[in-house]
Amino acid sequence: MLPIDLRGKRALVAGVADDAGFGFAIAKALIEAGATVCVGTWPPALNIFRTLLERGKMDEARKLSNGELLGFEKIYPLDAAYDTLEKVPTDVREHKRYRDYGDFTIDGLAKELVKDFGEEPLDIVVHSLANGSEVKKPLLEVSREGYLSAVSVSAYSMVSLTSRLLPLMRKGGSYVSLTYLAGERVIPGYGGGMSSAKAALENDTRTLAFEAGRAKGLRVNTISAGPLASRAASAIGIIEAMVDYAKSNSPLAEAITAAEVGNTAAFLSSSLASGITGATLYVDKGYHVMGKAVDPRFSPQG
């Protein structure tokens, strides 16, 4: 037996606000493998997330294989659009959805982690963050502001997290992010600059792998996950059609599950993947290898 063993490891999963997406599934897989997990949650969603947890609304999703309910070591407010509190506009800092959370920036998160757990508290960082304010617009109609915000939140935040958390990482640690095939192929309807952000994220993964590897022996990889009809993905507007199309045209003619992505992230975070860095690992039932839509009359036996 060759188990994924993350006992004694601490992970931060940035971008968990419900139990339906990849972030939660990755956190669950890491806990199943023995890690303790802290999460970073977008401040406007934090109260609702905590309430759902406290009222048992997520208990079914929280069930572990041993029958216990997963728990997070700490839940931090995090808006990865901002590196430091000084850079946050006054109207955001003073907004009712932000003002009670203190320093909710990436720098603030780093300081809180050191305060709570010491100088090098982390072994694993997962970037499960993406947002495009104009994602429903084709690229020809996207404003400069919309394009740059998509790249900022969905790609540069990985650079910032890697940089600012690097001093907190133990040697041999791992960073994992989530990308999508739109970073290398045209996916009509996946707009707002998000495809550009995913392309940037994949390129940055390779560069960060070199720089973080040489700086501290850290690994950096990204998972190109197939489409999932999560609450966050509903903002795209065509997610159900994306899931159905991928399912119909993949070598394995089935939709991916969040758990499959979670298990892959746990593997990449473990010593079993000690030789893997700078990689884009596809978890999409093989959809990325296809160059033509499948004829619905096709049968492997035909």
Does residue 4 sit within a domain?
no
Predicted confidence (pLDDT) at residue 54 exceeds the cutoff of 50: yes
Does residue 299 sit within a domain?
no
What's the chain's average pLDDT? 94
Q: What is the pLDDT of residue 300?
A: 54
Does residue 293 sit within a domain?
no
Q: CA 176 to CA 65: how far, in whole Å?
A: 24
Confidence class for position 119, pLDDT limits 50, 70, 90: very high
**Could you read off the pLDDT of 68-99 as tens digits, one per residue?**
999 999 999 999 999 999 999 999 999 999 99
Choosing from 190, 245, 282, 287, which is the catalytic residue? 190
Does residue 297 sit within a domain?
no
Order of strands across the sheet that contains 169-179? 74-77, 36-41, 10-14, 122-127, 169-179, 219-225, 280-283
Q: What is the pLDDT of residue 292?
A: 86
Predicted confidence (pLDDT) at residue 121 exceeds the cutoff of 50: yes
**Are the C-beta atoms of residues 35 and 6 closer than 8 Å to each other?**
yes
Does residue 165 sit within a domain?
yes
Does residue 215 sit within a domain?
yes
Q: What is the pLDDT of residue 251?
A: 94
Predicted confidence (pLDDT) at residue 180 exceeds the cutoff of 70: yes
Q: What is the pLDDT of residue 18?
A: 94
Q: Which residue has the higher pLDDT, 295 or 257?
A: 257
From the list 34, 22, 24, 11, the residue with the least C-alpha distance to 58 is 24
Domain count, the chain: 1
For residue 137, give its domain range. 10-287
Confidence class for position 298, pLDDT limits 50, 70, 90: low
156 in catalytic set: no
From the list 203, 121, 218, the residue with the least C-alpha distance to 162 is 218
For 85, left (φ over 0), alpha (ψ -120 to 50), or beta? alpha
Choosing from 180, 245, 282, 287, which is the catalytic residue? 180
Does residue 44 sit within a domain?
yes
Over the Cα atoms of the chain, what is R_g?
A: 19
Q: CA 138 to CA 192: how far, in whole Å?
A: 6
Q: Which residue has the higher pLDDT, 235 or 6?
A: 6
The pLDDT of 42-60, averaged and rounded, is: 96
Does residue 301 sit within a domain?
no
Q: What is the pLDDT of residue 233?
A: 64
Predicted confidence (pLDDT) at residue 148 exceeds the cutoff of 80: yes
From the list 149, 152, 196, 158, the residue with the least C-alpha distance to 177 is 158
Residue 32 sits in a domain whose CATH number is 3.40.50.720
190 in catalytic set: yes
